[in-house]
Amino acid sequence: MPSPDLAREAERVLRICAACMYCDGLCPVFPALTGKHEHSGAEKIYLANLCHNCRACWHDCQYAPPHPFAVNVPATLAALRRESYADHVWPGALGRGFRRPALGAGIFVGVALAVMLMVLAPHGSWAALHRARPGPGSFYAVAPLGLMMGLAGASAGWAVLSLVISTRRFWRAISGEARLRLSPRALMLAAADIVTLRHLDGGGPGCNETGPRFSQRRRIFHQIMVAGFVLLVAATLAAAFFQHFLGVMPPFAPMSLPVVLGVAGGVAVVVGAAGLLAIEAKPEREPSERGETRLNLVFLVMIEIVVLSGLALLLWRDTAAMGPLLALHLGLVTGFFAAVPASKALHAPFRAAAILRSAAERLSRRRREARNAATFE
Amino acid sequence: MPTTWDVLVIGGGVAGLSAVIAARRLGAAARLIESAPLALRGGNARHARNFRIAHAEPQFFAPGAYTEHEFLSELVRTTGGGTDVDLARSLIADTTDVVDWLAGNGVVLQNPAIGAIPFSRRTAFLLGGGKAMINALYETAEKIGVVIRYDSEAMVLGQNGAGLWEVEIRKGAATERVRAQTVVAASGGPGLRAEGLILRGGAYSDGAWMQRLIEAGARTIGDPASGHMVAVDARGPRVDGGIVTRITALPYGLVVDRDAFAVESPGAGSGRTHYARWGARIAQCPEGLAFLILDAEGLSRAPPSALAPVRAATPAGLAEALGLDGAALARAVEGAKKLAGPPFFAFPMRAGLTFVHFGLAVDGSMRVKMRDGRIFPTLFAAGMIMAANILPRGYLAGLGVTLSVVSGRRAGEAAARHALA
């Protein structure tokens, strides 16, 4: 549960917003307040996750400090959002990771080191790793296929399982009292909002990540990073296909499908995450919530490290550095997936769930309006 | 920086911004003085939401049509014929390109299909409200080379032998003398000091500069004792509460004064004008204080307001929470057939002043008239400081921003042309 102070502050702020409604064109958070005198706990965490933190409402707010009402919607909703991650994550013990982001970073580093040691142990020393010969099958000389598959499968499986259960818990919480009708149209609408990150447009002109000036930077860098991630998944699938069905052993040729997809995806992730890091590293202090900024920074740095280690492996795979680099990359990938459930990664499915509820409500409102219009005719 | 400015604009609300941008776009060396700090800049336009414009055909921002003729006749009606019809007609003609002009200066309007704004043929809605507009106009002004000073108050105005204005500007403890060929006064309307009255607008639009211009010989227009008032939550801030402390549910409940006597407001039905009638009525209550009592049904019909109502199970409990006489309130509640039963809710209320029907008289170029019948050729007025020429009584929704833009633009252009001639 959010702390009583935070819940009270959110209630106070949302009340003022519901009375004002000047921001109703900026994003769906404000129209959802229409006519509401009070907001349940579930309603609040729904709104907190529907908020994309574009900060347009901070710069447009006539009641922002130094006004005595001191309305700060982005920071209030960010704090609530972080609490909602902590309250719904499975297993619950990971909740601490959202109050202290060191937990996620700790899992990442700890698991990465453990895996590196696991890879290293059979070889006896780093020096022995250096002696691994390049060429087809050389990766498996460093770490056997079974070990690699086991580590990747277990860590990715853990991440997916945790995200699925956490998201189910969150969805139950926010959809319980809403009585939603999830039509295919609602799913399409939600998907479109997610792919375009529509709610980062501030109602049209863009985000306000560094001041009253609008910008689409966050939206663009975020989607470059996501596209890169999709390409990396595709590269992995392609690699599996090459190996199992074509019998080609890694490392694959530079112009082969897995490598091309992997390089494109890797570069996109590095560029996208770097752009987001640049924005996140010097946020406007007042509308930012420090805990969320820290979560973002930890997550982005983790992503950069993992993907850079993969690109480094590709670059130097024909040299004596291949063995240590492979051990490093394998460790970091495993550590990353192990840490995902306690990381900012949770924002993706939670926000998607909130967008889905918003889309379903928008459709039912439209249906209602159409019905009313028909009655009057 | 020039030693003599072409145009010095006093007041950084939407009128001042319109004036200074228009002047700068004509090539004038223009400077803007804003008395508020950056975070509270923009005058009462910060609290604006929409603005009234004439348009002959449906536009993306407003459906249907709203002709200049219809605009003018509504203005004549609401002011009881008191408006300066010739000036109003020409300013209303200017409203037809206000949307394009604002958009050209970075202001974004809201698509009526998005969000929850009411259907409005007469007004266009600002995306994000008035502060978003203010932010955009300041950014544009800076970009085109307007020099802006915050926390700066114009104190003394005088003319030197060469006919140039000398204005003393105070920023904290420092004082600076600024020389300018023309001055645009866009510092907002006068304040109104009355017991128990709440000012809905910002603390920085206090009418002090207008008072100095009156002392310098400017002619006034309108009634300094008449203002547009609505009921606001008495627990809200004394100034700058804006829209959210407004109490609009009066038709759904019982209004009592400090002595728990029922208060009636003749002519205050549930129509659109009831807000202003109630505001004036509450101002006349003892200590300027009144209370709206609602039952659950009444509260459910009330739109959300910034502060939660006081709640009690009985009239006696409510009276205790509000500091009223229990027996008297019980009698009033019983006498009022409007209230079904417990629980009861209450909002303490005061009159909240939107603006005063008083200002400086201007000619068609927004030049300030003198008491002796002459005209200041290089002193202009724009925005709420001259609104009483158009609005000597009554109010039309969305007129404040519109009037500020068209009068500001006209004043800024006239001032620039004069200075550059």
pLDDT tens digits, B327-343 = 999 999 998 877 888 89
A347 contacts A197 by C-beta, under 8 angstroms = no
Residue A250 falls within a domain, yes or no?
A: yes
Measured between CA atoms, how close is A57 to chain B, in angstroms?
7
Measured between alpha carbons, how far is B206 from B188 in angstroms, rounded to an integer? 8
**Residues present in chain A in total:** 377
B344 in contact with chain A, both atoms CB, cutoff 8 A = no
What's the pLDDT tens digit per position in B195-233?
Answer: 789 999 988 888 899 999 999 999 999 999 999 999 999
Residue A37 falls within a domain, yes or no?
A: no
Measured between CA atoms, how close is B279 to chain A, in angstroms?
19
Q: What is the mean pLDDT of the segment spanning B154-171?
A: 92
Measured between CA atoms, how close is A286 to chain B, in angstroms?
12
Nearest CA to B306 out of A252, A6, A14, A356 is that of: A14
Q: What is the mean pLDDT of the segment spanning B356-364?
A: 97
Residue with the two structure tokens 């549960």: A1
A60/B237 touch (CB, cutoff 8 Å), yes or no: no
pTM: 0.94
Containing B141, the helix (H) or strand (E) segment is helix B130-143
How many other C-beta atoms lie within 10 A of the C-beta of residue B376?
Answer: 24
Whole-number Cα distances in Å, B326 to B135, B314, B315, B319: 50, 10, 7, 5
Measured between alpha carbons, how far is A258 from A38 in angstroms, rounded to an integer? 53
**Predicted pLDDT of residue A377:** 45
**Of B37, B110, B306, Cβ closest to residue A16:** B306
On chain A, the residues whose CB falls within 8 A of the CB of B198 are none
Residue A207 falls within a domain, yes or no?
A: yes
> Nearest-5° angle of CA A239, CA A242, CA A248?
115
**Of B108, B244, B303, Cβ closest to residue A205:** B108
Measured between alpha carbons, how far is B221 from B57 in angstroms, rounded to an integer? 35
Measured between alpha carbons, how far is B47 from B319 in angstroms, rounded to an integer? 33
B240/A64 touch (CB, cutoff 8 Å), yes or no: no
DSSP-based three-state secondary structure for B58: coil
CB pairs under 8 A between A and B: 109
Identify the CATH class of B4-219+361-420: alpha beta
Residue B274 or residue B220, greater confidence: B220
Output Rg (C-alpha) for chain A, integer angstroms: 23
Boundaries of domain holding A283? 90-376
A203/B128 touch (CB, cutoff 8 Å), yes or no: yes
Q: E strands along chain A, which residues?
A: none
Nearest chain A residue to B240, by CA: A67
ipTM score: 0.95
Of B108-122, B251-265, B315-329, the range with the lowest mean pLDDT is B108-122
**Residues present in chain B in total:** 421
DSSP annotation of B389: G
Whole-number Cα distances in Å, B366 to A65, B39, B355, B376, B387: 35, 29, 20, 10, 11
B114/A34 touch (CB, cutoff 8 Å), yes or no: no
On chain A, the residues whose CB falls within 8 A of the CB of B127 are 25-26, 203-205
Measured between alpha carbons, how far is A67 from A65 in angstroms, rounded to an integer? 4
Residue A309 falls within a domain, yes or no?
A: yes
Tokens of A346: 């949770």
Q: What is the mean pLDDT of the segment spanning B371-387?
A: 97
Measured between alpha carbons, how far is A161 from B240 in angstroms, rounded to an integer? 51
Measured between alpha carbons, how far is A129 from A120 in angstroms, rounded to an integer? 7
**Predicted pLDDT of residue B268:** 59
On chain B, the residues whose CB falls within 8 A of the CB of A26 are 127-128
Q: What is the mean pLDDT of the segment spanning B119-145?
A: 96
Residues spanned by CATH 3.50.50.60 within chain B? Answer: 4-219+361-420
Residue A50 falls within a domain, yes or no?
A: no
How many other C-beta atoms lie within 10 A of the C-beta of residue A215?
Answer: 18
Angle between helices A290-315 and A102-120 (to 10 degrees): 20
**Predicted pLDDT of residue A128:** 83
Q: For residue A251, is the peptide bond before it cis, meaning its omega torsion is within 30 degrees of 0?
A: yes
**Predicted pLDDT of residue B98:** 97
B115/A25 touch (CB, cutoff 8 Å), yes or no: yes
Residue with the two structure tokens 């009418």: B207
Q: What is the pLDDT along chain A (377 residues), one digit of tens a residue?
A: 678 899 999 999 999 999 999 999 999 999 999 989 999 999 999 999 999 999 999 999 999 999 999 999 999 999 999 999 999 999 999 999 898 878 999 999 999 999 999 999 888 888 888 776 777 788 888 889 899 999 999 999 999 999 999 999 999 999 976 678 788 999 999 999 999 888 888 888 888 877 778 889 999 999 999 999 999 999 999 999 998 899 888 889 989 999 999 999 999 999 999 999 999 988 888 999 999 999 999 999 999 999 999 999 999 998 889 999 999 999 999 999 999 999 999 999 999 999 999 999 988 888 887 777 665 44
Measured between alpha carbons, how far is B409 from B305 in angstroms, rounded to an integer? 35
* CB within 8 Å of B248: residues ≥ 6 apart: B231, B275, B302, B303
Nearest chain A residue to B202, by CA: A67
Whole-number Cα distances in Å, A284 to A21, A72, A287: 24, 13, 6
* CB within 8 Å of A172: residues ≥ 6 apart: none
Residues spanned by CATH 3.90.700.10 within chain B? Answer: 228-352
Q: Quote the number of domains for chain A.
A: 1
Measured between CA atoms, how close is A162 to chain B, in angstroms?
35
Residue with the two structure tokens 């050389």: A138
Chain A residues with CB within 8 Å of chain B CB: 15-16, 18-26, 30-31, 33-37, 56-57, 59-69, 202-205, 212-213
Residue with the two structure tokens 């060429």: A135
CB burial of residue B174 (10 Å; 0-12, 13-18, 19+): exposed
Residues A319-333 as b/e (b if ≥16 CB within 10 A, e otherwise) read eebbbbbbbbbbbbb
Measured between CA atoms, how close is A32 to chain B, in angstroms?
9
B221 contacts B350 by C-beta, under 8 angstroms = no
Residue A114 falls within a domain, yes or no?
A: yes
On chain B, the residues whose CB falls within 8 A of the CB of A30 are 115-116
Q: What percent helix, strand, coil does chain B show, rounded to 5?
A: 35, 30, 40
Measured between CA atoms, how close is A66 to chain B, in angstroms?
7
**Predicted pLDDT of residue B178:** 95
Q: E strands along B217-322, which residues?
A: 220-233, 254-257, 289-295, 310-312
Q: What is the mean pLDDT of chain B?
A: 93
Measured between alpha carbons, how far is A210 from B212 in angstroms, rounded to an integer? 40
On chain A, the residues whose CB falls within 8 A of the CB of B47 are 62
**CATH 3.30.365.10 assigned to B228-352:** no
A19/B305 touch (CB, cutoff 8 Å), yes or no: yes
